[in-house]
Copies of this chain bind each other. A is one copy, B any other.
């Protein structure tokens, strides 16, 4: 089937939401932890975490515009810190629950039955139940003019990961963590190791390591 700009624009709003959100594939699912200036903890599911750079270690994520209240965005702007907590098969339902609308004085940690956890002097809650936890300091908030969304860029300050998930080459074994991914707005996928491939060169075939 083929769709073009006009047929996409003519779709019912919820149908279009499902369709367009599916185009970006099966995506990394993360719970963003933040805290407001009243020490109210916030947790929110994002499916837009993306690699920006390795040195310095930078991660990005897309936030909707601040024209409506966005507690996560507000908190990050106010405190300069946030956490990224990987979703796994054991917590994907709680992770999904954090996407519910809530008032400023309600904590998604509570109604989603997730536990805030703190390490040392890092001022923002991690999700205790997550197995890959990243604490970040805000570097940049970059507006996307086309639709008013924002690219939030943070520098990695702290990483907490189980020793058995760290491979000899430095990579994290997401199968050990039972990492879950998301497609569209509401569909969760488990993942299975398929292959690891050698450094690609144009004159030789790709092969497994």
What residues of chain A have their CB less than 8 Å away from a CB belonging to chain B? 1-5, 8-9, 11-30, 47-60, 62, 84, 86, 89, 92-94, 96-102, 106, 108, 111, 119, 132, 134, 139-140, 142, 144-147, 149, 151, 153, 155-163, 166-167, 169-172, 174-175, 179-181, 183-203, 205-206, 209
Contacts of A30 in B (CB 8 A): 25
Among candidates B14, B55, B196, residue contacting A186 with C-beta atoms closer than 8 Å = B196
Among candidates B8, B56, B181, B201, residue contacting A156 with C-beta atoms closer than 8 Å = B8
A21, B53: Cα distance in complex, Å: 8
Do B145 and A23 touch across chains, with their CB atoms under 8 A apart? no
The secondary-structure label for the interface of chain A is: mixed
Among candidates B171, B186, B190, B196, residue contacting A197 with C-beta atoms closer than 8 Å = B186
